[in-house]
């Protein structure tokens, strides 16, 4: 641990966490042993209802401990510049609070409370850490030497960020809203449910949300392979799979320890996988990077004027920036400056001019990605390179003289 980071404020936070932990221990002792009768009197605690004093006191101690310990850990910067996550604070706070509530039930009704708590704890911890383990396992499958079809590879990449599961979840939530509206209408029509003002507003609000979110839900669920931005809006599912045929991915190695641990970036002959997004080397012309904090967002400008986006959850600075820009230069295959601000429409027109016989964006893009594009890329670079600085010409002439 770096002693320079252990400031006075951090020490106070750690002391506060220890005191809150001791405070929690006292309330648990009072609740389990039955001592201190005043601790077993029930009081009304805001929206929690009537709680015994040892339970409400324990909940307050848990909240204080969670805020102090997570704030101290953030001060110590244990994640080394990675994007901060709210999940540890949530788990540190919610699981002990559930334990306190169920422990009170256990003292009254037996082991069912403990069994319920264990099930909830296993579920929450599973939600927190199992996806990360599965992510690593899925990513390693992509790197196998065994030849795979394009369909197999793109499906593995799709699962790296669990897009099929997210689609199912989003469709399920939207469908649940539809079921609620239909059941409410049916129950009212058959007389099983009485339609009062509060129920009418709930049903109306749910119906409005279902209708308003339909298009967004449909786009999210129906777009093939969300991990291939831009191309998934133009090409068919079969065409995207064919583009991955014959590609072999390998990891990009970094020297920085945090980049080794947190950045999983893979390359193949024609693709690069960054932040779970598959980006085309053939199409990539320019990339801009925004670094607002402990993450970096990328905007990759394609030759057809469209922009693909990706994000990495790590602070890119100093030596990391140098290493990461090497990756971006490999992606676009060019190091010099280009004048591309506000040229998206011009890029699209130029892209269409190379394929006059193709009548649709889909046909043009499919034709482009299926051939050697070296000459086309050179033409783009020549067209959008800034004119040479006349002062540099004069300086170089003087140097020669």
DSSP 34-102: ---GGGGSEEEEGGGEEEEHHHHHHHHHHHHHHHHHHHHHHHHTTTTTBPP-SHHHHHHHHHHHHHHHH
pLDDT digits (tens, 9 = 90+) for 197-250: 777 888 889 999 999 999 999 988 888 888 899 999 999 999 999 999 888 899
Question: d(Cα 159, Cα 161) in Å, to the nearest integer?
Answer: 5
Predicted confidence pLDDT, tens digits, the chain (401 residues) = 344 456 778 888 889 889 988 988 888 888 878 788 888 888 776 656 677 888 888 888 888 888 888 788 777 765 555 555 555 666 667 767 777 777 776 666 556 656 666 676 676 666 656 666 677 777 777 877 777 888 888 888 888 878 888 888 899 889 999 998 998 888 888 887 777 777 788 888 999 999 999 999 998 888 888 889 999 999 999 999 999 988 889 989 898 888 888 888 999 999 999 988 999 999 999 999 998 877 889 999 999 999 999 998 888 888 889 999 999 999 998 888 888 888 889 999 999 999 988 889 999 999 999 999 999 999 999 999 887 766 654 555 555 55
Query: Angle 150-160/163-190 helices, nearest 10 degrees?
Result: 70
DSSP secondary structure letter of residue 299 = E
- The DSSP bridge pattern shows strands 277-280 and 250-251 to be unpaired
């Amino acid at each position: 641990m770096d002693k320079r980071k252990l400031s006075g404020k951090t020490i106070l936070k750690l002391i506060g966490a220890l005191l809150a932990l001791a405070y929690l221990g006292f309330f648990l002792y009072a609740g389990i042993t039955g001592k201190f009768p005043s601790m077993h009197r029930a009081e009304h605690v805001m929206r929690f209802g009537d709680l015994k004093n040892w339970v409400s006191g324990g909940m307050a101690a848990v909240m204080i401990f969670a805020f102090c310990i997570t704030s101290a850990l953030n001060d110590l910067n244990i994640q080394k510049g990675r994007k901060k996550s709210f999940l540890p604070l949530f788990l540190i706070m919610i699981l002990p609070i559930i334990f306190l509530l169920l422990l009170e039930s256990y003292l009254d009704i037996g082991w069912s409370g403990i069994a319920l708590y264990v099930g909830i704890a296993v579920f929450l911890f599973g939600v927190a850490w199992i996806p990360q383990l599965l992510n690593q396992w899925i990513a390693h499958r992509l790197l196998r030497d065994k030849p795979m079809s394009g369909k197999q590879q793109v499906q593995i990449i799709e699962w790296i960020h669990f897009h099929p599961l997210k689609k199912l979840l989003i469709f399920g939530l939207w469908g649940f809203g539809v079921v609620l509206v239909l059941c409410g209408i049916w129950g009212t029509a058959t007389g099983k449910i009485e339609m009062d003002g509060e129920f009418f507003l709930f049903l109306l609000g749910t119906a409005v949300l279902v209708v308003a979110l339909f298009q967004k839900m449909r786009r999210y669920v129906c777009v093939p392979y969300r991990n291939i931005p831009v191309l998934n809006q133009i090409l068919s599912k079969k065409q995207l799979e064919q583009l991955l045929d014959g590609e072999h991915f390998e990891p990009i190695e970094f020297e920085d320890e945090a980049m080794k641990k947190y950045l999983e970036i893979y390359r193949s002959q024609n693709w690069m996988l960054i932040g779970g997004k598959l980006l085309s080397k053939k199409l990539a012309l320019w990339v801009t990077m925004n670094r607002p904090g402990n993450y970096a967002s990328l905007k990759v400008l394609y030759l057809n004027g469209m922009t693909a986006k990706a994000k990495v959850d790590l602070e890119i600075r100093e030596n990391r920036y140098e290493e990461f820009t090497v990756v971006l230069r490999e992606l676009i295959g060019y190091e010099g400056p280009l004048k591309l601000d506000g040229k998206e429409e011009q890029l699209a027109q130029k892209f269409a001019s190379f394929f006059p016989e193709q009548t649709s964006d889909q046909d043009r893009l499919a034709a482009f990605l299926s051939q050697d594009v070296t000459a086309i890329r050179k033409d783009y670079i020549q067209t959008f390179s800034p004119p040479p600085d006349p002062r540099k010409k004069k300086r170089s002439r003087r140097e020669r003289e």
